[in-house]
Structure 1
Amino acid sequence: MAEAAAQTVLDRISQGHLECPICCCRFTDPKMLDCLHSFCLKCLEEMMSKQKSEAEKITCPVCRRETQVPDGVLQSLSSSFFLISLVDEINKQEKLLGKSLTTSATCKSCDEGHEAVSRCLDCMANICKKCQEAHQFLKYTKDHRIIPAEELDKSRVLPADLSKSVAPKCRKHIDQSLCFYCGSCDILICSMCAATEHRTADHKYTAIYDAITSFRESVDDILQKFDKSKRQFASNEDSITHARKRLQKNLAQARRDIYAKAEAEIAKIRNKAKRLTEKVDEIGQEKDSEYEKALMHNRDQMERADQIVTAVNDLMRQADDFELLELKPKVMHNLEFQKELKCEPAKVNMAFIGVKCQNVVSNTALGELLLKEKWKLKKTFGKEGMGDGQFQWANGVACFNNGNIALTDTTQKRLSLFTSTGCYKTSIARGTDCRELEAPSRVAVTQDDLLFVTDQKKVKVFDTELKFVREFTPSVDDAEGLSKSDLRGIALDKQRVALLDKGRKVISVHNLDGSLIANTSINMVGYHIAMSSTGRMVFTTYEKNSLLCVNFKGNEVFNVMPLINGKSAKPTGVLCDDDGSIYVALHSFKLGSAEVHHYDSNGAFMATVAQGLYNPLGMAFTPAGDVVVADKHSVKIFERM
């Protein structure tokens, strides 16, 4: 049973790691290409023979990278000694298990199926008598070490060990062992090579042990960089995913905006068309009425004329001469109407009416595509003072899901609540209830609308109406009193709260119930902190003019020095978006010229969000994605255009 299990393991190793990707059989004389992929020499020769070009290159069938073949001879490629050793080890173990493979006693260098009489330690392959003679004749194999098969069978030393125990010989000085490595030429050399061809100052060679030690250290260093890059790629993947989701969201919103604008413009055009049509109808009715009056007038005139003419004609036929002369005055009076007949003209010009329409759509574009993020000031509220809705030092700010804004004033030691439009609602201050507030500093809101407030040594929690819920103390002061807790910055994600303790120079991460998750000592600790969706903490140091990012183990990710107009600026409030991008409030050395900048998740500057702020401190996002800034004596809300 044990032998069967061992054989199964050997078969799996062979199938998974020791089979040529071309022939899918166990490697025979494997050669390694520049891309580090290995193939049987025979498979490479067959593949190269089918190439149409005569170029001394071969393309890897796995990764398609090209490898230069010296003089077009594949035999000169580097042998994959590691694979050769593994194949021999598997063969050896299979022999020990009593299951010799039918190919183990045959020659590996030809297709004749001759019995192997010896073994080449350089090729790590069994060879027949004819191949042995060819080995000793060919230029590239005449220096290979060959031992009889009987000697190998009697030895209990594994082939891998045997190959390592014999120092390789120099191909130019066959009696000399390779003992140096020339770093300038990247080749192994013997002492004779070192004394002749590699003796000049431009050849830097070292002992093989020192060379391999240095090589391993270099490889380890590069592999560590690969690992760091891998972690960076993993982190960036989250940022890209968030940014992609934001793109889809913005695309959908842009489509809705375009449709809404089009509908609004269409409605305006239809309204204008309606008013113009009404004007046309009004003018048409006025003109048609005049035509109607003219027709009626002319018809009345003709009707009376017809009546007079009919009456006179009847009288002239029926009356005698005496009656006619007697009625002459009346007849002539009626006939006088002929002089009064006046026909209203047709007034053809009045019949014209037309419309000269303007090209409303093509003259002006429906809108402009904005490919870079732009912001504008949406709302400002508050002013300097001590009353309700007034500020002495507006500092921390946070937004509830309904849009209401919570804000601290560190000078008045007050926590206030405002509507989304800036209308004052309520506030609590020091002295109203000693259990509730002492000196509120920064604030943050959970997804469940719980307001967390840093209050000296404690974190206090309130509801949406500023009613006290609970509190917890993150740390205890040192017994000697050398390091007192002074909680400043606070940030929240779905499950955690990060606290910046400026007094103890510590960033601590807690569960939402206050239980400690981790503590990290930070020398350059400031006043404001944010938590990124990429699993990082970003904080600012006003004194050191730095924007820093660390992971939850305290390892620094980046350290950026923000600039305003090319000059160093002092960062205060910091905010992280869903895609990991960072927003920072920056102070110049002049009040009224502060700014808010946008950085990507790796600390690279993206854009300026706002300029001309007085003294910005805390910042927060509204549910709609607007940025709220506590600007000392006021609160400013900026929206994306």
Structure 2
Amino acid sequence: MASKLASDDFDEQFLTCPVCMLHFRDARILPCLHTFCKQCLQEWASKQDPLECPTCRTQVSLPDQGVDGLKTNFYVNNLLDFAALKKGTETGMPCQVCEGNMEGPKSWCADCATLMCESCAVVHRKLPATKDHEVTAEATLRAERGVSKFQRKRHCNKHKNHELVFYCESCNALVCTACTVVDHRPGKDHNPVEISSVAQMKKQTLQGLLKQIEPRLKEIEASIEEVDRKMSKISPSKDAATNQTKAYFRQLVDMLKKREQEILSQIDEQCRVDSKGLQAKKEAIEFELAELTSAQTFCQQAVEYGSDVHVVEVGNQVQTRVETLLAKQLDLESDWSEFQFVENTSLFEFENEVKHFGGLETNVDISKCKVAVKPAVRGFRCVTVLTTMTKEGCPCVTNSKAVTANIKDPSGNDVMTQLQMKSGGVWEISYTPKVTGKHRLEVKVNSQQVTRRPLNVQVRSEDTPVLTIGREGSGVGDLYRPAGVAVDKDGNIAVVDKRVQIFDADNGQPLKSFPVDGENPYGIDKDSHGRFLVTSWGADCGIRRYSKEGELLNTLKPDCVKDPTGVTVLKDGRMVVADGKQESCLLLQPDGSLIREIGKGHLLDPRFIAVDESRDVMFVTDGSNANHKIFTFDLEGNLIFSFGEEGENDGELQNPNGITLDPTGNIIVGNGGDGRVQVFGPNGAFIRKVATAKGGEACGIALTPNGYIAVSCWREDCVEMYRYM
């Protein structure tokens, strides 16, 4: 790109905002290094929370100042200047000062970023305020092909006439000469150094990164080529597999047709044989019928018409004949039973067998596939995750027809399942069990069972913890009197006791921990940058800010803070801190300075806080024996309403402690007195009871992104996870 931008022919796409499709206006850089107009970003941010980069969809945490706090892309601005300057040297371009002189040579002032005619340039050089400005003549403009001569001078926001020439390492800020005398005087708190030396070091660092990028680019390009190569094989593979499939099933059809003809021939032969036998039987019976009928006729004629002489004469003969025919043993049975077609293999059995007629062989290795069973709770949507793998152990994609899942409840009834591919090789098997107990899950890929035997899935009741994290102790993963809990940016559980420990919310495994200062660490929350804020009460009380890695960044000990307990950080970095000794909550600036005190005269023992920023409303638990209430204030400090009274029934409270909000604004409260975790509507109306925490004391609570409530059980030295939604 550098070669393009160093020439007369600029890459218009590089200088064009991807949103408005115009040249950049006040270009600002997002953390993902994509550039947009400031105004475009402001409009984009007003429609999204959190903001996503319009190009790569990466979520962006804006600075406290919003879009105004994003860094300016001065390189793009310089390129735009360079393009304008090159055009400005052409005949017919007016002077940007007098706006009238279109003829003659022109000059460029880097300090003012202005193109001037020769007359204006002469005056510009003579004026006291601008005589020291860097002015470049047209001859140089025409000869120069790069942008180095046309970079705008950067001036101090406080001392407008002073150029930024120093960098204060302590403050991470660019400063001018005047600043080094006033606000950034060299000493214990400030260390201004020349920008050139800092820039040189930074360039060396970036050059080192550039060297690392090149092999990575080649690796990615090679990967793309490999994908292209494999994509080119898809169509031939499809054709070959299609032809093989058709040939195979044509043979099966031919076999079935052949068998059909065999059975039809058997039917024809059976019909011929049976017809011949029955015809012979019929003829024999008809002969006997004719004999007996003939004797009957003769006998009847003798009786009716014969004379006495004739009757006497033939009577004995007729009698003998008739008696002989009547005494004769006749086979009058047809001796034939109806034939019918018999299904040696039923259609149902055949249908099951047909499923095994052929198959699609992919590079999925059944022995390498993984099945992860997530905690299951009755009445909730539950999930099991299947990852299809190659024999090398890498996730791979296979078609949806190749994957099947079947779940049976303890009575053997089928549970309806849904199968959805989430990403390359990862499948989500979801179901909603209606009963508790041991369910059996069978997962197959290409008609082969992934595990040797069906998996056992234990479905729990709604008020039973699906996971218990920690136990009493001081080792890795152990807890001792856990208080506050929070959810970090990755969805993991952060718990504070004498230290902060991070646990995997899915399996409870400890991920990392770091020590915290202060005598009695209590409350914890994260800010929009993922940093942790931890409060501690007692002799060394304060609010301490730690990095995501656990490094202590700073300690806030404003005079207004006496005994901080719960803490909540707002999106703009402000904090709301509950203070038991002050009997109020404190709204603080990010630096700890007091904005206002909230709840004085209402609160007696504030514990934890939850804030609904969409409505500028905060909820505070008051665990004093006199209150047993939840108080609701706006962020201006006005009491809106309170609710709750002491008791053991639904909707009643016993020393309310932890509090959090769900996405719909419902209020989830944990009791310190009896351990019940209850849900109330935004207006304080009781909705339901979630569970009762172990040990009868729920301290801090937090809601995870995947719908679980983490409850710290202070007396039992653990954190319990309950399904919430």
Larger radius of gyration: 1
- How does the TM-score come out when normalised to structure 2? 0.36
Give the TM-score of the pair, scaled to structure 1.
0.40
Relative to its length, the structure with more helix (as a share) is 1
